[in-house]
Amino acid sequence: MSAPKFVYVFGGPRTEGDASMKNLLGGKGANLAEMCSLGIPVPPGFTLTTEVCTAFYQQGGKFPEGLTHQIEDGLRHIEAIMGVHFGDPQNPLLVSVRSGARASMPGMMDTVLNLGLNDITVEGLITSGGDKRFAYDSYRRFVQMYGDVVMEVRAQKKTDTDPFELIMDGLKEEKHVHADLDLTWEDLKELVKRFKGLVKERTGQDFPNDPKEQLIGAISAVFRSWMNDRAIAYRRMNGIPDEWGTAVNVQAMVYGNMGTDCATGVGFSRDAATGENRKNGEFLINAQGEDVVAGIRTPQQITKADSLAWAKAQGVSEADRSAKFPSMEERMPEAFGQLMAIYDRLEKHYRDMQDLEFTIQRGKLWMLQTRNGKRTGFAASRIAVDMVEEGLIDEKTAILRVEPDQINQLLRPVFDSAAKAKAMGAGDHLATGLPAGPGAGTGKIVFHASDAEEQVNAGKGPVILCRIETSPEDIRGMHVADGILTARGGMTSHAAVVARQMGKVCVAGCGAVDIDYEKGTMKVGGRILKEGDWISLDGFLGQVIAGRIPTRPSEVLQVLFEGKAPGTDSVYSYYHKLMTWADKYRTLGIRTNADQPDQAATARAFGAEGIGLCRTEHMFFGGDRIQAVREMILADTLVERERALAKLLPMQRDDFAGIFRAMDGFPVTIRTLDPPLHEFLPHKEEEIRDLAKTMGVPFERLADKVELLKEANPMLGHRGCRLGIAYPEITAMQARAIFEAAVIVKKEGIKVIPEIMIPLVGHVNELKAQKTLVMATAEKVFTEMGLRVDYLLGTMIELPRAALTADEIAKEAEFFSFGTNDLTQTCMGLSRDDSGRFLPLYVEQKILPADPFQTLDTAGVGQLITIACEKGRKSRPDIKLGICGEHGGDPASIAFCHKAGLKYVSCSPPRVPIARLAAARAALEK
Amino acid sequence: MSAPKFVYVFGGPRTEGDASMKNLLGGKGANLAEMCSLGIPVPPGFTLTTEVCTAFYQQGGKFPEGLTHQIEDGLRHIEAIMGVHFGDPQNPLLVSVRSGARASMPGMMDTVLNLGLNDITVEGLITSGGDKRFAYDSYRRFVQMYGDVVMEVRAQKKTDTDPFELIMDGLKEEKHVHADLDLTWEDLKELVKRFKGLVKERTGQDFPNDPKEQLIGAISAVFRSWMNDRAIAYRRMNGIPDEWGTAVNVQAMVYGNMGTDCATGVGFSRDAATGENRKNGEFLINAQGEDVVAGIRTPQQITKADSLAWAKAQGVSEADRSAKFPSMEERMPEAFGQLMAIYDRLEKHYRDMQDLEFTIQRGKLWMLQTRNGKRTGFAASRIAVDMVEEGLIDEKTAILRVEPDQINQLLRPVFDSAAKAKAMGAGDHLATGLPAGPGAGTGKIVFHASDAEEQVNAGKGPVILCRIETSPEDIRGMHVADGILTARGGMTSHAAVVARQMGKVCVAGCGAVDIDYEKGTMKVGGRILKEGDWISLDGFLGQVIAGRIPTRPSEVLQVLFEGKAPGTDSVYSYYHKLMTWADKYRTLGIRTNADQPDQAATARAFGAEGIGLCRTEHMFFGGDRIQAVREMILADTLVERERALAKLLPMQRDDFAGIFRAMDGFPVTIRTLDPPLHEFLPHKEEEIRDLAKTMGVPFERLADKVELLKEANPMLGHRGCRLGIAYPEITAMQARAIFEAAVIVKKEGIKVIPEIMIPLVGHVNELKAQKTLVMATAEKVFTEMGLRVDYLLGTMIELPRAALTADEIAKEAEFFSFGTNDLTQTCMGLSRDDSGRFLPLYVEQKILPADPFQTLDTAGVGQLITIACEKGRKSRPDIKLGICGEHGGDPASIAFCHKAGLKYVSCSPPRVPIARLAAARAALEK
């Protein structure tokens, strides 16, 4: 039996993969193959599939059988095209070894370049046309990289300097030179020797000379890097499964560092921060690719326009700029022209914004990578809408291009323009950097990612993380920060890329900022700011402003709620178009959870089509109400209790009337009293004493009542319909308030659609008992007031027993609304209030795939929902099914609800737009 | 379309029903028909089916169409046989109207006798041969009974005297007579007039004269009495569904009160208290049937032997006895002979102990009822065993004749014989009554049922309820009392019947007791005892003893645990035979929940075949252990925690070794730590302060830890395997203790079968993580100690999610044990600690059929078990399935477990015999 196909070649006359094979070849590998097929210049190579990675881990770090042979075939493919041979002393083939997963994970895994060099082939490199300095510089880079990645010779602590860099610094000191470029080829040769010595010293092993051994080592190391801490953390944050694995690409080296006619760069076909349709990117003359991303040298801009803007941000004069940092457009106009044409070609081919990597070797342009570019929510919305208007994609595709949560960015606060103008006027505008992440960020300065984490976790946020530049080690800190400011690096620097992806506000490459980590200070705009000082970042414009600038609702909200006129190309215009399309394609209804008229109005502006959950108890807390509620609880007799309830009746009625008016024509689901009564009483002795005084009751009586109502497990206690059954007069009062309000509002000419929902039903008899009461009250009110109102009566499904006996319950219920919060708590036996002690550990240790209170546990809780839907429909085919737990605003959970055939989801007002988009995507992804 | 058959006639040449038709005709109706078919003399009549009752309630108290016509046919059937006519002014037919449900509910529903009398027919009764006094006495009884039952003229409060009795007492005063018998026929005629006046005054309606109207009214009233409070309470206590309904029997009247050659009586074919094979019963000369049960007149004994014993109990001289209270054997030898023959005939026919009612009218014996007699647990066991030995029934039938809970009576404490002898010697033996309910009862005297309830509910029990006689209103009080003592009434009095049925200790008809309800005192044996004084009852011997006599384990336990030699016909001998047969026919294994070697030994003596649940945390509380446990909880570092755990290791190991030794050859399921850690710490400030001092740690540190561990819902909190995952070192220590103990004990030559059970698993990954740890520990221990022990590793299924994903979990688990306590809590969202506030109301209002913590909720929780069994078997066909929740000792739940195909149930040691019997019954009832 022959081994499965592990290796796919690309380039020259033979390309085995294409863009559709991402799962097998990874994004990079699939796209390299695709580019080859399009005739775009790509160095030839081959891809080891993700299945090899899986096998590698299953076999405890060993290669599957037959792989080595296939690798050799791959090498022969490259050799044939390039006309050089791996390990050839005269004209050696050198290769790069790069990771490439299904989803892009920039900078998270390892890479080895210049592989194939040893003391013999380095001479061959010179013989075949490279100069000595280039050859030995390549060699020392290779040994350094291989030593780090494969042989794990690294700084022992994160704060230590890289040991190879230390050796290099030492040699520079010996030679009394400052720059790397000042080292001669002999110096570099010496460095290679010293580097190998370090490797031997640290590992006890000789640095491998055999190119094939080097290759096997590098491939293994790249596979191993799939499971490094950074990569795991990144996947967790981005919901990428560990099981996917990475592919590995082995590709002929091309050099951007063979001289000044060489360069390397990255670029985007549109603006990844704002979505504007303008090609952009950065490059470095005479450099290797990693130099651009690593942020070690200051990159130059590809277009002249960007170059001018960059110079302004960095405070570089035009003379300096054109001399030292000219754009590619100016410096290499021919390659620039080719590159622009490839940008166009690839964007049209992929019908999406492209993120490119290229190298120019002695004037010849080589493409090393293309992929769909990551982008902010702003950019995602704008690009999707623009591309529809350009005829590149259709509406459905546009919807699938925007992640629901990205809509959040469009709704985030912006700076109050008056306050900002005042600060700018007062001289608080310290500097302008690159607008790498749009939005308004304000917070206290921290200089280290770990400090950011610590302060935010301790509730001492918000913070702005200020760094000279960022590295992959900083991602947790970036995640918790409200904004990121870097002094160095361009629009494709680590900080800029990660911030965009996280949707963080970011000002990058702000050269005017001078950070001193040791002192914990930052000089900028003539001031010295220290850790803890407030600072504000305008990520739309790249401005750095001292102090804390107050914010206002986003432009979208200003248009929706304040009547602001939306401009063309405004954030609102993209929001509005996307939402219109989403509504066109979604089949799920979107309702909101609201219990005040103003919330209801907000939700309608966001597009809610009704209220899925109106919690009546929230109404109990305002003003005089809590007083009446407490009187009710303290009542010892039915008469006393009814007297207190009579006080609550008009208040509840007014609330309901207000909500019905706000929801004219849309259904309003009102849940009867749910929480245990002790939630309405104080629990600390002093508070009880105060309240007793206020209420004019003896302290002991109140204290006794509090004690009596105490519960061991209130979540499973006397609450929900259990209250309404023990105290039918409470349900009767609430039903009366609802029906009286409904009749009053209907008489005003408003369309009222009340849906009364009984909570925490576990047995159909509970529902029957409450239903009888509600229906009798309705009839009484309709007779008294001389007008009938149609209404539905249903129940929450929030206990496993309810789901399992949904066939019985559906005989009495006209609708089910899944209360997924409580259903998760009971199905999993997990108290939301207490699980903080172990749930993070569970997610960390992969015992659970995600926090089940954020994303619905489909295997368990979802199974109950499916069972309940099936059984419910069996008893009542037209039963209305919805969800009102907090999962109603979670895109993954919404996708589940769509599949389960629910009629609607209900979420908090600000999640409504996200839910609309998620529902449309669920319908389209079907 | 003709109406369904609602009426079945019996007697004379045509009998439509038989004993197999109990569901339709009720027990009484079916047996009357059966007796007719056997040729036993039964007054003719007809039965209205239970379906009529159902229809009656469905139609809101109306008769189904066609019923009246069928009733008339029934009347014609009686008339034809008796040669008299209903309503005939010359020779009227009179009938009785009696309830008769599927299950006997003695005294709970209503009866009307002498129906058909009015001012005209009463004269016909005289004409046709009755004397005037008899005729008018029958008439006034009829009006009184009908007025009460049908027209609802009764005492307004329970404590008030019956208004008819008040009128009668008034008349007696007017006439200056004392006894009812002293009233003349004219007086009785006057009474009829006054009674009718009372009815008119109270109801505004005339008393009905038309016999057919009377009959319809009486039938309706009997149906209505199915839903009276007493009947509902009785059904609830005895698990009889409301849906069954009652049948109604209309039967020609025969008279035990036409003169001194008439009598009426009841009897048992064996002793209903002890099960001894001796016919017995009571009768009254010249009386109607209800007089015997009502306890108004002192009944005479049927056999001479009983009569002599009774006289002794009542302190009646032989002269008085033979003159005033002779036995039937002496007084009516011919009828006695016939009756004894019928006893034999019926017992052989039904192959069970019979409870009979009869009337002798002018020397002719009529049987009015036969049914299987209710009996105590002692009697049930003995009769079942005796009948097998007599060849009447087989072993399987014997098993089905004893309710599992009746076994409890055999295991209840008996008086310490030395202490009792001492009390008897000290003159504390106050009197001897009838031994109506076997057992030893001791408690504080109460004179009213409501006081009994109040005191027991307030935790002030135990109480002995002392009454002149009891009535159906007293059943709740009897239910909570530890014993019942009555001054009046025989072995078939209300007190005796109900006590036997409830399995209560009872001394009945103790004439030496003179109770003064008003003073709250009781004169007996020359002493005056007052409410609250301690008293003891020996229900085996009928002895009433002053003071509180200490108890000892039951005879069964003395034989099992103290090596007492069992006598023949001893309680133990019946227990033993029944258990042997139960073990022969059951297929379910019975294990026990035990966590100490002595408990394990007890359970084995009771027949447990292994431990189904050993809770390791119970071991944490003893002696020094709690100290080490607290050190472990307080530990801030892994090292500290491991140090504390190291102290616990040898203690746990010793416990396990002890249990393994006690369970030689049987499996022992050990659950790893389950409760949240805060259960091991004190919670009150003072206790925390004390402990801090003892442990030598600062108060604040301990208080902080207590605060930190506090949980909103501990039931759903950081417990079960969640602890073992957060602190793997705890699981590792416990696993080590188990395996070290297993190896040590195996080396002693004992067969060890450990089963390690991981609690509160919700996701298979939790089990995987703990399993890996346990298995690694096992390997380490086996290597260290040089011996392997086979073991199983499984999990509790106690969360809905576990049941729903049992297919996944079964891949890792070798067994499932259903933790039905927690499964009930989570499935129903019901905290056992808190549900006391509303569960009683739920059962009362029939929202739930029973307390789900006592009897498994099969529709919900049971559904999860069924799902889990199916899914579990799908993944692992040989998976071992058991249950270890408290339902493991509940017969109804055991029947469910049998049906679900579980391999075993596990319950507390004293429930083991009950579970054995219940399992056998489940297997036989299949």
Q: How far apart are CA B580 and CA B44, in angstroms?
A: 45
Query: Chain A 751-770, CB below 8 Å of chain B: which residues?
Result: 760, 762-763, 765-766, 769
Q: How far apart are CA B510 and CA B513, in angstroms?
A: 6
How many interface pairs between A and B have CB atoms less than 8 angstroms apart?
Answer: 173
Closest CB to A834 among B712, B801, B829:
B712
- Count of other CB atoms within 10 angstroms of residue A885: 27
**Chain A contact present for B888, CB below 8 A:** no
Q: How far apart are CA A623 and CA B245, in angstroms?
A: 54
Place of tokens 């081959």: A46
Place of tokens 């040590």: B744
Residue B158 binned pLDDT confidence (cut-offs 50, 70, 90): low
Q: What is the enclosing helix (H) or strand (E) of A770? A: helix A764-785
Average pLDDT of chain A to the nearest whole number: 92
Query: Do A762 and B822 make contact, defined as CB atoms within 8 angstroms?
Result: no
Average pLDDT over every residue of A708-720: 93
Q: What is the dihedral of CA B727, B729, B734, B736, to 10 degrees?
A: 160
Closest CB to A716 among B798, B829, B847:
B829
Average pLDDT over every residue of A824-838: 92
Helical residues (DSSP H) of B204-332, grouped into ranges: 211-225, 229-238, 289-294, 304-314, 318-324, 328-331
Nearest chain A residue to B846 by CA distance is A765
Query: Chain A 696-735, CB below 8 Å of chain B: which residues?
Result: 711-718, 722, 725-726
Distance in Å, alpha carbon of A684 to nearest chain B alpha carbon: 15
Distance in Å, alpha carbon of B728 to nearest chain A alpha carbon: 12
Distance in Å, alpha carbon of B593 to nearest chain A alpha carbon: 23
Distance in Å, alpha carbon of B195 to nearest chain A alpha carbon: 39
Q: What is the enclosing helix (H) or strand (E) of A282? A: strand A280-285
B910 prior amide bond cis, ω within 30: no
Which residue type occupies A461? G
Residue B654, Cβ density class (10 Å: 0-12 exposed, 13-18 middle, ≥19 buried): middle
Closest CB to A763 among B760, B841, B848:
B848
Render B84-124 in DSSP notation, one character per residue: -EET-SSSEE-EEEEEEESS--TTTS-EEEEET--TTHHHH
* Greater pLDDT, A490 or A597: A597
**Chain A contact present for B476, CB below 8 A:** no
Contact A787, A743 (CB under 8 A): yes
**Chain A contact present for B57, CB below 8 A:** no
**Residue A158: per-residue pLDDT:** 66
B759 prior amide bond cis, ω within 30: no
Q: What are the strands, taking DSSP E only, across B634-776?
A: 667-671, 753-758
Query: Do B805 and A863 make contact, defined as CB atoms within 8 angstroms?
Result: yes
Contact B90, B75 (CB under 8 A): no
Contact A762, B860 (CB under 8 A): yes
Query: Do A715 and B713 make contact, defined as CB atoms within 8 angstroms?
Result: yes
Contact B510, B504 (CB under 8 A): no
Which residue type occupies B300? Q
Task: Name the percent of chain B lying above pLDDT 90.
Answer: 70
Q: What is the pLDDT of residues A886-910, one digit of tens each?
A: 899 899 999 999 999 999 999 999 8
Residues of A in contact with B808 (CB under 8 A): 859
- Count of other CB atoms within 10 angstroms of residue B427: 11
Mutation target for A interface from B804, B823, B845, B870: give the one with most A CBs within 10 A.
B804
Q: What is the pLDDT of residues B563-590, one digit of tens each?
A: 888 887 789 999 999 999 999 999 999 9
Task: Name the percent of chain B lying above pLDDT 70.
Answer: 99
Place of tokens 């795939």: A849
- Residue B61 phi/psi, 5-degree rounding, is 90, 20
Query: Do A769 and B859 make contact, defined as CB atoms within 8 angstroms?
Result: no
**Residue B657: per-residue pLDDT:** 96
Structure tokens at A233: 């953390």
**Residue A60: per-residue pLDDT:** 86
Q: What is the pLDDT of residues B52-82, one digit of tens each?
A: 999 999 888 899 999 999 999 999 999 999 9
Which residue type occupies B3? A
Residue A492 has pLDDT above 80, yes or no: no
Average pLDDT over every residue of A144-149: 94
Which residues lie closer than 8 Å to A426 by C-beta, 6 or more apart? none
Structure tokens at A410: 């469009």
Residues of B in contact with A838 (CB under 8 A): 718, 722, 725-726
Render B460-497 in DSSP notation, one character per residue: ---EEEEESS--GGGHHHHHH-SEEEESS--TTSHHHH
Query: Using alpha carbons only, what angle is made at residue A158 by residues A156 and A162, rounded to the nearest 5 degrees?
Result: 65
Structure tokens at B25: 């005709």
Residue B308 has pLDDT above 80, yes or no: yes
Residue B509 binned pLDDT confidence (cut-offs 50, 70, 90): confident
* 3-class SS of residue B48: strand
Alpha-carbon distances, residue A76 vs A81, A252, A856 (angstroms):
9, 11, 50
Query: Using alpha carbons only, what angle is made at residue A351 by residues A349 and A357, rounded to the nearest 5 degrees?
Result: 70
Helical residues (DSSP H) of A448-537, grouped into ranges: 449-457, 475-480, 494-502
Average pLDDT over every residue of A95-113: 89
Q: What is the dihedral of CA A205, A208, A214, A219, to 10 degrees?
A: 0
Which residue type occupies A820? T
**Residue B296: per-residue pLDDT:** 65
Distance in Å, alpha carbon of B720 to nearest chain A alpha carbon: 11
Give the CA diameter of chain B. 105
Average pLDDT over every residue of A442-464: 92
Closest by CA position to A792, among listed A779, A776, A775: A775
Query: Do B804 and A798 make contact, defined as CB atoms within 8 angstroms?
Result: no
Active-site residue list of B: 494, 884
Average pLDDT over every residue of A376-404: 95
Closest by CA position to A292, among listed A369, A348, A230: A369
Residues of B in contact with A860 (CB under 8 A): 762-763, 800-801, 804-805
- Count of other CB atoms within 10 angstroms of residue A156: 8
Q: What is the pLDDT of residues B849-877, one digit of tens each?
A: 889 999 999 999 999 999 999 999 999 99
Catalytic residue among A77, A85, A494, A898: A494
Q: How far apart are CA B419 and CA A382, in angstroms?
A: 95
Query: Do B826 and A800 make contact, defined as CB atoms within 8 angstroms?
Result: yes
Query: Do A714 and B834 make contact, defined as CB atoms within 8 angstroms?
Result: yes
Q: What is the pLDDT of residues A152-181, one digit of tens each?
A: 998 877 667 889 999 999 999 999 988 777
**Chain B contact present for A836, CB below 8 A:** no
Q: How far apart are CA B615 and CA B711, in angstroms?
A: 22
- Count of other CB atoms within 10 angstroms of residue A229: 10
Query: Chain A 122-161, CB below 8 Å of chain B: which residues?
Result: none
Residues of A in contact with B837 (CB under 8 A): 717-718, 726
Residues of B in contact with A718 (CB under 8 A): 834-835, 837-838
**Residue A573: per-residue pLDDT:** 94
Q: How far apart are CA B410 and CA B440, in angstroms?
A: 11
Residue B339 binned pLDDT confidence (cut-offs 50, 70, 90): very high
Structure tokens at A717: 């206690």
A738-752, B151-165, B770-784: segment of lowest average pLDDT: B151-165
Q: How far apart are CA B880 and CA B919, in angstroms?
A: 17
Contact A370, A337 (CB under 8 A): no
Mutation target for B interface from A708, A716, A835: give the one with most B CBs within 10 A.
A716
Closest by CA position to A169, among listed A147, A191, A202, A192: A191
**Residue B926: per-residue pLDDT:** 65
**Residue B155: per-residue pLDDT:** 83
Q: How far apart are CA A338 and CA A755, in angstroms?
A: 64
Alpha-carbon distances, residue B193 vs B137, B150, B198, B215, B789 (angstroms):
12, 18, 9, 20, 90
**Chain A contact present for B835, CB below 8 A:** yes
What is the 3-class SS of A852-880, one letter each residue?
Answer: CCCCCCHHHHHHHHHHHHHHHHHHCCCCE
Task: Name the percent of chain A lying above pLDDT 70.
Answer: 99
Closest by CA position to A907, among listed A576, A658, A586, A599: A599
